[in-house]
Structure 1
Amino acid sequence: MTKFLLFITLNIPFLLSAQELKSPSNFLGYEIGTQFSRHHQVVDYFTYVANYAKENVKLIEYGKTNEQRPLLLAYISTASNLKNIEQIRLEHLKNLTGEGSPNKAIVWLSYNVHGNESVSTEVSMQTMYELLTSKKQYLDNTIIIIDPCINPDGRDRYVNWYNQFKNKNLTTNPDSKEHHEGWINGRSNHYMFDLNRDWAWLTQVESKQRIKYYNKWLPHVHVDFHEQGVDSPYYFAPAAEPYHEAITNFQREFQTTIGKNHAKYFDANGWFYFTKEFFDLLYPSYGDTYPIYNGSIGMTYEQGGSGRAGLAIKTNIGDTLSLKDRFNHHLTTGISTVEVSSKNAEKLNSEFKKFYQNKNHKYKSYVLNGNTDKINSLTNLLDQHNIEYGFGKEATLKGHLYSTNKTGNFKSSTNSLIVSTSQAKGTLVKVLFEPNAKLSDSLTYDITAWSLPYAHGLDAIATTNTIASASSDRKIDAEISIDKNAYAYITDWNSINDAKFLASLLKENIRVRFTQKPFSLDNTNHKRGSLIITKPDNSNNKEFLSVLQTVSKRYNKNITSAQTGFMDSGKDLGSNSVKMISKPKIAVLSGDPTSTLRFGEIWSFFEQELDYPITILDDRYFKRINLSKYDVLILPDGFGYSEFLEGKTLDDITNWVSNGGNLIVMGKAIKNLANKKGFDIKTKEEKKDSTISLKAYDKNERERMKDAITGAIFKTKVDITHPLGYGYNEDYFTLKLGQDAYEYLDNGNVVYLEKNNNHPVSGFAGSEAQKRIDQTLIYGVQKNENGNIIYMVDNPLFRGFWENGKLFFANAIFMVN
């Protein structure tokens, strides 16, 4: 037996070469496209093919998900190309500087970024098989990179759920349970984030790991495979307007070239499809737009189906849409994309080179001032995108001021961050930093404003001339010196990094205070919210000083050692205005009332940023919870609160607040508390126009845009004396996602839109929506006996990328008491 096993082991390569490459169906033991494969089966097939066809396939694991599933890339080409793949890659990247003469087309196919849009991972296996067999002629001048599943955690969540609830016999009735996922669905990743909107912001582990390899290749063509509603036909390029102005004529034209090739095959098969609708090319964090702003032909392909479709479903016109149908459509467009790219390899290379040359962007440099932590947060993001930057010098600059949205003067210093468009990633810089993206059409698929200076809370100027900068090869480190003989230790409160520092100390049972009043000591001014860690408060903690030193170093925190509690001006450290920060026990509602995405942002914030424990409560058993065990309860944004916030549940929450609880209510959850007894929040009354205006049917959609705000940035005022506003300046730029409007509170208006300041500084807001939000609340606090109700109309944690909002959320947790 041992000799037989040894013979088999030694001769595996021979045996493999003596057999034909197995198709996915033969390998898996079922016809591909007739059932859903779990992620480990997909990994097994890709591993098998890579072992079988070593000369033609190189398989790498580029990372792992939060649930420890492997993330894979398969490189597919001829033996000669793969043998020289690193030289091909480097020659390709020479196009960025106008050097070299590459002749290979680089095509990257990304599957299943949304886990319950599940057919595409099945297609990835068959696509690889076809490229190695019947379509291998395309490999001569093409490198194909396949990511079989961007979101394995979400996909396995869907597949496991579907396999649990599907009927034994094929059930096409859309009423069946197998066609109705629950609240925790497969679309998003472990933390309920939409990975298709995270390409630019890189908040999630999958995105961070993938972008390293994407930027190593910067392919000519990138396709993101999706599914849409059951009753929709297939969508492929060209995309809809608005196109961002940075998109080149060739990128537009080649989308049409590929679309027409797809249409040829769809026409021959009698398959329905559409182009130029719904899916535009503006928001920079999609799997089509991010590649476009890096020189690719980026495209989204959308097959009707998604999580509702299962193995087969009846459409609204009585047809049956099967998994096999969905499979064949995606397989066709994937192979067609490779075909067109291979036939146009020379053109793709020449146009890719042009993309990176002779850019004439309006703004040549962006100069940013601000808190060191905020600068570091932004440079960390730029590093991940391979965006170059430097630091400035003492000077007065003229250009577009982000603070006023007008031309003016700006003081720079040696700590000013400078990011120029005169670099390889210049187009991406323009798109991410420009004050206001130009809209060719107000009907868009996503938000219309995202400018990084606003998102990171930095004062900035955009200049039409290039500003020289010094090397970026430095890190601004704090001078951390803990005097063991000091009476107290003081540090500032300005950024989310400070909140991480505080959370870490509380977890280590270090007692921390904060000041409600400014004070000065030893010629240093300390603002409201400054953290104070005293030796008397921590006298029973033997590890106090060593923990403080370790945590300060971890978060690069400047610590001022105070030899006395007697202040030069302002309140002394023993004053009642110097409050102890509790170690709050926090609960977050999940389940049907809430949006999975909005819940996920909160969950991710606590676990991946603050690293502070929370308890997740589900609406199904919420009535049985003893709320007195918690200090903070968070109600995430969501559309399902109308029944939840009624009767005994509402009474229990109200009584808990009265007894000292802090309730944080976000987004649409506020609607269900507005105008109710015990809640000061009131919806703003709309003034109806009595004039009757008749409109043509096809104008209705555009008329509705008058009432819409599609992710626009507004300048608001902040009450910096309120604990919810600690760490902020008097102006705050909020990202507003809709027209919900609430009147000012009687007291506790912390962030608000002033009268006649209802126009966006960036992005689209309809004329009627602007009127509606005039003089309305953004964030406010209602005192309710011993507790507080914190209203957050706008989302400070949106998609994890609105960095400057996060401190408001931390204030709501730690400072409001």
Structure 2
Amino acid sequence: MSPSEFLGYELGTQFTRHHEVVDYYQYVAKTLADQVQLHEYGKTNERRPLMVAYLSSAGNMADLENIRTEHLKNTTGQGAPSKAIVWLSYNVHGNESVSTEASMQTLYDLLTVEKDYLDNTIVIMDPCINPDGRDRYVNWYNQYKNSPNNVDPNSKEHHEPWQSGRANHYMFDLNRDWAWLTQVESQQRLKFFNKWLPHVHVDFHEQGVNNPYFFAPAAEPFHEVITDFQRDFQVTIGKNHAKYFDANGWFYFTKEVFDLLYPSYGDTYPTYNGGIGMTYEQGGSGRAGLGIVTRIGDTLTLKDRIAHHHTTGLSTVEVASKNAKKLNTEFKKFYQNKDFKYKSYVLNGDADKLGALTELLDQHEIKYGSGNNGTVKGYDYKTGSNGSMRTTEKSLVVSTDQPRGTLVKVLFEPKAKLSDSVTYDITAWSLPYAYGLDAVGTTTAVNSSGFVPQSEASMTLDKDAYAYLTDWSSMNDARFLADLIHRKIRVRYAMKPFVLDGQRYKRGSLIITRGDNSANKEFLDILGQVAKKHNKDLTATATGFVDDGKDFGSTYVQMVPDIKVAVLTGEPTSTLQFGEVWHFFEQQLHYPVSIIDSEYMNNIDFTGYDVLVLPSGWGYKGFFKESRLKDLKEWVSNGGKLIAMGGAIKGLTGEDGFGLKPKESEKDSSVNVQAYDETERDRIKEAITGAIFKTKVDTTHPLAFGYDDTYFSLKLGADAYDYLDSGSVVYLEEGHTSPISGFAGSEAQKKIAQTLVFGVERHGSGSVIYMVDNPLFRGFWENGKLFFANALFMVN
């Protein structure tokens, strides 16, 4: 049966819920068991199944595992495969809902009218990457649409609420998570993707209602590692699509907007693994519903949208089938040795941070090893110039001479080469900066041996010890602390460095005393369990009398508070930025948090909360009217702690706000006549498109405990604020406004000179913590997360 026959309604006249889509795929797999296999590769946060369908001819399906293994042999130059592998991914953005509908028709037609394509092609279909987001949209639409549906763009069915269906459960954009793997959907999907490494991968999307269809070739900038064949084959596919679109009189565009640079997309990530990765964009998205009148007066229907995605899906398989031999030849070439500038990346740093990085590398099947005692020379990431670094057996070495060498180059390179400064996303992401590790890129290969992970902590806790001490330098330490607080273990931290029993301890070091926990009869058992869980070494001491510094009874040794945290959600917060904070608490720090919606914020008694987090967003200036801002200031003055991130800061400035002041930009008094065609190019002079800057850190401040005097910050825009009179903790110095990696316009660089990045302002008995840059951005900037933990636990 066709999808329409199975579902009981004509495809395109209703939206299909996820469980009904699964039902149809299961029906097809059962009916044509010799041609279709379904594999559930995981579940979402809301327990919906994630699955892929393999389809091909009966002969190919009977030999599927041999075909897969022979294909993967090509990555080492040993295979002789003959089949094309095509992977079609649908609905990574939940409210771009047409693609899942189109997938069902594409599945049906590949097994019927176009089954000849499958003689030499394996097609892998993921009908819905983001079921939680898609059902959120579909359920909302079915609840609020007119009956019959209304094509008037002003009708409610064309205006999703704040929590749209685009993102997943935690409000993360899954199309920007392929490389960082912060979300369960991405983590589970990549395991299956790595088993196949397809020749062609398509990510089906939707864009604004008034846009025509976009398909390959992509726009500049293309990353420099992309091969001539990968570029040319995009043109080959695009021309085949154009043939069908021209015959139908459908409008389309190519080579604009959607570039191939940022590595965490569904087009770039497969490309950096040897495939032809492409984004297809249909006009529509969450506004279109079952039908909508466009700007030029046409009516765009769901049936139209299905037809377009269905056409490009079949066309993609057609081109791959016709070029199976060429795809296999070029795939093998891609995996041959590359002459990259940097042959090895050598990294030193905190064992927890190295461990976090190796976990990511394992997920990507990137090989690595341990260094040797000696010195390496090359590009020093910390200085941005040539230098040297001492290495030991604890150093991490990642070579580009391996099957995933191209991906290594892209993820580790200090600076991505830009062929065009107008880009769709951030322009810097280098992992040594993201993980806060010292690194050197070498132009000669560095020998390495099997990597030695951090040894497991094993200890017998002395029941007579006065206290147990441990360091504070990573997110693993923050999770250890959060777990202790949850288990009702009281913990102190050192505000000053000290020496005890001949060992030096830094600011922020955790001190767990027997006296603080004397009422807890399970104290030692719980402490030992939590330390083992988080692999934390504890050093016992028989005294609180230090050799140098402040004794444990000093006011400089503070108790970590058992804080109650609230996070604002709803307008004016950004859904994505709220999601980053929500995910941080629940899935990274594992600390309880109350989500307070802006709609009923005025009805909440905030005296029951110690911390209020304002995620970045738009419209905070209007949100914090005089009375609401007055109440907020009073709460802080009475001891509350306010964490304001990014755009939220704008709502706290001004005459009635707190003390932070936006930096006044110097106006250029000269007047120039500008050509209309140059407007966009001129505008980027004032933009920062996700660039990395070297900042100065006041390591004596509690917000910076665990950090060195330099922090590499990912700056996402040119918002700029003057230094605070007191409490400027992380800041840009004069003369340090050029990004160490990524693009920043000339005017933007002038604007951010001598401005705040992170700071703390005392206000009465409380404090306001300003985070101009986002340390939780997309969950992957690992080295920024301890700042947020410090804001919660260390700043009083």
Q: TM-score of the superposition, structure 1-length normalised?
A: 0.97
Per the alignment, residue 203 of structure 1 pairs with 182
Partner SS for 1:536: coil
Per the alignment, residue 227 of structure 2 pairs with 248
Q: Partners in 1 of 2:656 and 2:757 — Cα distance?
A: 21
Which shifted more, 638-647 or 336-345?
638-647
Match of 1:91 among 62, 70, 95: 70
> CA deviation digits over 1:103-137, x for unaligned, max 9?
00000000000000000001111111111100100
The reply to whether residue 676 of structure 1 matches residue 655 of structure 2 is: yes
The reply to whether residue 128 of structure 1 matches residue 99 of structure 2 is: no
Which shifted more, 688-697 or 728-737?
688-697
Per the alignment, residue 27 of structure 1 pairs with 6
Contact 2:457-2:535 within 8 A present in 1 as well: yes
Per the alignment, residue 189 of structure 1 pairs with 168
Alignment coverage as a number of residue pairs: 796
Counterpart AA for 1:445: Y
Shift of 1:169: 1.7
Per the alignment, residue 360 of structure 2 pairs with 381
Counterpart AA for 1:412: T
> CA deviation digits over 1:761-808, x for unaligned, max 9?
000000000000000000000001100000000000000000000000
Partner SS for 1:307: helix
> CA deviation digits over 1:609-630, x for unaligned, max 9?
1111000000110001000000
The reply to whether residue 429 of structure 1 matches residue 412 of structure 2 is: no
Counterpart AA for 2:87: W
Q: Which residues of 2 match residues 606-617 of structure 1 at below 5 A?
A: 606-617=585-596
Contact 2:370-2:452 within 8 A present in 1 as well: no
Which shifted more, 644-653 or 272-281?
644-653
Contact 2:492-2:558 within 8 A present in 1 as well: yes
Partner SS for 1:779: strand
Per the alignment, residue 647 of structure 1 pairs with 626
The reply to whether residue 816 of structure 1 matches residue 780 of structure 2 is: no
Per the alignment, residue 330 of structure 2 pairs with 351
Per the alignment, residue 75 of structure 1 pairs with 54
Match of 2:751 among 743, 761, 772: 772
Which shifted more, 444-453 or 559-568?
559-568
The reply to whether residue 446 of structure 1 matches residue 425 of structure 2 is: yes
Match of 2:153 among 174, 185, 196: 174
Contact 1:480-1:552 within 8 A present in 2 as well: no
Partner SS for 2:387: strand
Q: Partners in 2 of 1:85 and 1:556 — Cα distance?
A: 42
Partner SS for 1:597: helix
Per the alignment, residue 312 of structure 1 pairs with 291
Q: CA RMSD in A?
A: 0.7
Counterpart AA for 2:176: R
Contact 1:78-1:139 within 8 A present in 2 as well: yes
Contact 1:481-1:559 within 8 A present in 2 as well: no
Partner SS for 2:270: helix
Counterpart AA for 1:63: G
Contact 1:91-1:101 within 8 A present in 2 as well: yes
Q: Partners in 2 of 1:417 and 1:674 — Cα distance?
A: 44
The reply to whether residue 540 of structure 1 matches residue 519 of structure 2 is: yes
Contact 1:372-1:476 within 8 A present in 2 as well: no
Q: Partners in 1 of 2:287 and 2:490 — Cα distance?
A: 51
Percent identity (aligned): 67
Per the alignment, residue 410 of structure 1 pairs with 389
Q: List runs of 5+ in structure 1 lacking aligned partners.
A: 1-21
Shift of 1:38: 0.2
Partner SS for 1:754: coil
The reply to whether residue 524 of structure 1 matches residue 520 of structure 2 is: no
> CA deviation digits over 1:467-515, x for unaligned, max 9?
0101136453334442222110011000011000000000001000001
Shift of 1:84: 1.0
Partner SS for 1:143: strand
The reply to whether residue 36 of structure 1 matches residue 20 of structure 2 is: no
Per the alignment, residue 572 of structure 1 pairs with 551
Counterpart AA for 2:277: G
Per the alignment, residue 567 of structure 2 pairs with 588
Per the alignment, residue 785 of structure 2 pairs with 806
Q: Partners in 2 of 1:478 and 1:364 — Cα distance?
A: 34
> CA deviation digits over 1:538-584, x for unaligned, max 9?
00111111111011011111111111111111111111100001110
Counterpart AA for 2:748: A
Counterpart AA for 1:174: P
> CA deviation digits over 1:377-424, x for unaligned, max 9?
000000000000001011111100000000011111110000000000
Match of 1:692 among 649, 671, 678: 671
Match of 1:400 among 362, 365, 379: 379
Contact 2:355-2:453 within 8 A present in 1 as well: no
Q: Partners in 1 of 2:650 and 2:459 — Cα distance?
A: 47
Shift of 1:522: 1.4
Counterpart AA for 1:111: Y
Per the alignment, residue 128 of structure 2 pairs with 149
Per the alignment, residue 16 of structure 1 pairs with none
Q: Partners in 2 of 1:100 and 1:667 — Cα distance?
A: 51
Counterpart AA for 1:92: H
Match of 1:490 among 469, 488, 493: 469
The reply to whether residue 740 of structure 1 matches residue 729 of structure 2 is: no
The reply to whether residue 555 of structure 1 matches residue 534 of structure 2 is: yes
Match of 2:203 among 224, 242, 259: 224
Contact 2:337-2:401 within 8 A present in 1 as well: no
Contact 1:480-1:557 within 8 A present in 2 as well: no
Q: Partners in 2 of 1:588 and 1:267 — Cα distance?
A: 51
Match of 1:795 among 774, 789, 792: 774
Match of 1:46 among 22, 25, 28: 25
Q: Which residues of 2 match residues 471-486 of structure 1 at below 5 A?
A: 471-472=450-451, 474-486=453-465
Which shifted more, 369-378 or 75-84?
75-84
Contact 1:519-1:570 within 8 A present in 2 as well: yes
Q: Partners in 2 of 1:788 and 1:346 — Cα distance?
A: 65
Counterpart AA for 2:712: F
Counterpart AA for 2:139: N
Which shifted more, 543-552 or 476-485?
476-485
Contact 1:480-1:556 within 8 A present in 2 as well: no
Counterpart AA for 2:523: F
Per the alignment, residue 94 of structure 2 pairs with 115
Q: Partners in 1 of 2:305 and 2:695 — Cα distance?
A: 47
Match of 1:298 among 248, 266, 277: 277
Q: Partners in 2 of 1:248 and 1:730 — Cα distance?
A: 40
Match of 1:325 among 295, 299, 304: 304
Per the alignment, residue 242 of structure 2 pairs with 263
Match of 2:349 among 357, 363, 370: 370
Q: Partners in 2 of 1:678 and 1:394 — Cα distance?
A: 55
Q: Partners in 2 of 1:701 and 1:482 — Cα distance?
A: 64
Which shifted more, 142-151 or 641-650?
641-650
Partner SS for 1:570: coil
Shift of 1:338: 0.2
Partner SS for 2:450: coil
> CA deviation digits over 1:429-488, x for unaligned, max 9?
000000000000000000000000000000000000000101136453334442222110
Counterpart AA for 2:688: I
Q: Partners in 1 of 2:656 and 2:352 — Cα distance?
A: 42
Per the alignment, residue 60 of structure 1 pairs with 39
CA shift in 2, pair 1:137/1:473, >3 Å: farther
Shift of 1:30: 0.3
Partner SS for 1:437: coil
Per the alignment, residue 683 of structure 2 pairs with 704
Counterpart AA for 2:778: R
Q: Partners in 1 of 2:509 and 2:199 — Cα distance?
A: 50
Shift of 1:727: 0.3
